[in-house]
Amino acid sequence: MLKTNKPDLKILLLTHHVPFPQNGGYQIVVCNTLKELLHLGHEVSLISLNPKKNHEEQLPDDELRGKINYRVYNIDINVSVFDVAINLFSKTSFNIDRYYDQGFEKLLIEAVKSTAYDIIQFEGLFLCLYLSVIRKYSKATLVYRTHNIENQVWERLSLQKSDPFKKSYLKMHAKRIKNYELQQLNKFDGIAVFTPQDKDTIQAYGITIPIEVLPVGIRLEKYEPDFNKTEFPSLFFLGSLDWLPNREGMEWFLNNFYKDLTEGDLNVKCYVAGNDIPERFDDYDVLGKIFIQGEVDDALEFVNSKSIMIVPLLSGGGMRVKIVEGMAMQKCIISTTLGAEGIKCEHGRDILIANNKEEFYNAIKQCITDEEYCKGIGKNARYLIEQQHNIRLIINDLVDFYKSLHPAPIQPSAIN
């Protein structure tokens, strides 16, 4: 057991979304990090932008409430058609610029001037708008954690488009975002990434500061499948559809398999759940066949109730938290190579890889006709997560990374 006489480090996490509740990959990663840093005895603070349209109050759960210093700042990130048009003549992307707010900058200045943080961790590119002012007023070690390489997301999206205007527009934003990323990354003291692929990409950009690969970690005790409550066969997707790669991937899947699921020989129900599902997805809903459910009250209960997870990701980057969670729940997962990026899985052992319609069809057909096969894939998947994605081990490695960057000597915690 890890014991500390006093907080080892004073750590501030900055997020561009409130990470409560834990209903998305970003939120899960941030909350798990907060909880495990507290478990190790560190003093943890969180300052979050809240871009929600109605700015409803989002509070930490009981495990964090009263134990972290938490501040939230409401921001409007909506842009008008006029703003988008004007941005065409700019050198930066509105997707980044809309996260700047003078009031939030003032809040950050007050925060870092009043507390001598050892570590300030930026959870994503949009917080880099405040990097220079934090560097000016704080002596903390500044760490950047990349949830996605943002320019790569836009570049991959452009490759999926056949419309010349849309392709050109997305490529323009990819270029602008890449220029911005290259300007910012070397200004940090260290970078944490989820996948070796992301590390290779960043190093290829000429970034010379230390980069550490720390995969997505989860709290394994939360994931206890109950097969008595699982519908077999059943397909499901769970993810936020306000993220363009998720939305694009599910539209591809539903467009390609709509007839197979409703009229053809794929005799299986398909469930789509997640945040911010566009209204047009209601057109895919077919009684008894395809269910567009929207946001679910309990994500893990939903995952447990279904048997085969589909991840038809065609663009994006980083590591898919929902796949890690699905594996922990012993789900048989059918994913594109890109969707499974960074996870040390093997096709046919602990996951099924499908990169086109034919491969998805064959994988679905095999799974829905052989329950024991699905359970075997799921069992192997759980073992992989236990070995590779235990949050306790990963946060220990994150803290070691902090200490390797910190300018002042820090005494390691006593371990019994």
Predicted confidence (pLDDT) per residue in 259-312, tens digit: 999 999 999 999 999 988 999 999 999 999 999 998 898 999 999 999 999 999
What's the rounded Cα separation, in Å, for the pair 372 and 377? 9
Look at strands 352-353 and 414-415 and give their pairing: unpaired
pLDDT over threshold 90, residue 109: yes
**Complete DSSP assignment for 46-57:** EEEEE--SS---
Residue 59: give its domain's CATH number.
Answer: 3.40.50.2000
Whole-number Å distance between alpha carbons of 195 and 216: 9
Q: Look at residues 108, 145, 140, 188 and name the one whose alpha carbon lies nearest to residue 43.
A: 140
**Are 245 and 212 within one domain?**
no
- 400 within domain boundaries: yes
Place of tokens 């997301």: 153
Q: Determine the average pLDDT of the residues in 204-226.
A: 95
Q: Is 28 among the domain residues? A: yes
Based on the fold, state whether residues 12 and 92 are members of the same structural domain. yes
14 touches 123 (CB < 8 A): yes
Task: With respect to residue 241, please indicate whether it lies within any of the assigned structural domains.
Answer: yes
Asked if 353 contacts 335 with a C-beta cutoff of 8 angstroms, the reply is: yes
Is the pLDDT at 410 greater than 70, yes or no? no
Do residue 237 and residue 206 come from a single domain? no
pTM given for the model = 0.89
Pair 348, 398 in one domain: no
Q: Give residue 159's pLDDT band: very low, low, confident or very high (50, 70, 90).
A: confident
SS3 226: coil
Is 117 part of a structural domain of the chain?
A: yes
* 73 and 99, same domain (yes or no): yes
Model confidence pLDDT, tens digit, residues 216-242: 999 999 999 999 999 999 999 999 888
Q: Which residues contact 155 (CB under 8 A, 6 or more apart)?
A: 170, 171, 174, 178
What CA–CA distances, in Å, run from 196 to 32, 62, 143, 185, 310? 21, 34, 18, 17, 24
**Does 280 lie in the same domain as 165?**
no
Q: Are 292 and 387 in contact (CB under 8 A)?
A: no
Domain that holds residue 295: 220-388
Instruction: Tell whether 384 and 395 lie within a shared domain.
Output: no
Other residues' Cβ atoms within 10 Å of the Cβ of residue 127: 24
- Verify cis geometry, omega within 30 degrees of 0, for the bond prior to 233: yes
In a domain, 416, yes or no: no
Structure-token match 């077919």, residue found: 286
Regarding whether 404 and 343 lie in a shared domain, the answer is no
Same domain, 318 and 200: no
User: Would the pLDDT of 399 be above 60?
Assistant: yes
Cβ contacts of 315 within 8 Å, gap of 6 or more: 153, 156, 157, 159, 160, 244, 245, 248, 249, 338
Q: Are residues 76 and 89 in the same domain?
A: yes
Structure tokens belonging to residue 302 = 């939903």
What are the φ/ψ torsions at residue 127 (nearest 5 degrees)?
-80, -15
Evaluate if residue 394 carries a pLDDT over 80: yes
Number of domains in the chain: 2
Residue (of 252, 54, 42, 245) closest to 157 by Cα position: 245
How do beta strands 352-353 and 269-273 pair?
Answer: unpaired
- In the DSSP assignment, the letter for residue 410 is -
CA atoms of 217 and 390, how far apart (whole Å)? 5
Per-residue H/E/C for 153-190? HHHHHHHCCCCHHHHHHHHHHHHHHHHHHHHHHCCCCE
Residue 158 predicted with pLDDT over 90: no
- Is 60 exceeded by the pLDDT of residue 91? yes
- Tell me: do 307 and 181 sit in the same domain: no
Residue 362 pLDDT exceeds 90: yes
Residues 205 and 235 in one domain: no
Element (H, E) at 352: strand 352-353
Judge whether 415 lies within some domain: no
Res. 150: pLDDT tops 50: yes
- Please report whether residue 414 resides in a domain: no
Q: What was the pLDDT predicted at 30?
A: 96
Tell me: the pLDDT tens digits for 335-345? 999 999 999 99
Question: Would 297 be classed as within a structural domain?
Answer: yes
Quick one: CA dihedral 9, 388, 319, 151, positive or negative?
positive
Strand partners, 272: 237, 292
Chain CA centroid to CA 222, Å: 18
Q: Residue 240's pLDDT is what?
A: 87
Whose tokens are 């994503």? That residue is: 124
User: Residue 154 CA to chain centroid, in angstroms?
Assistant: 16
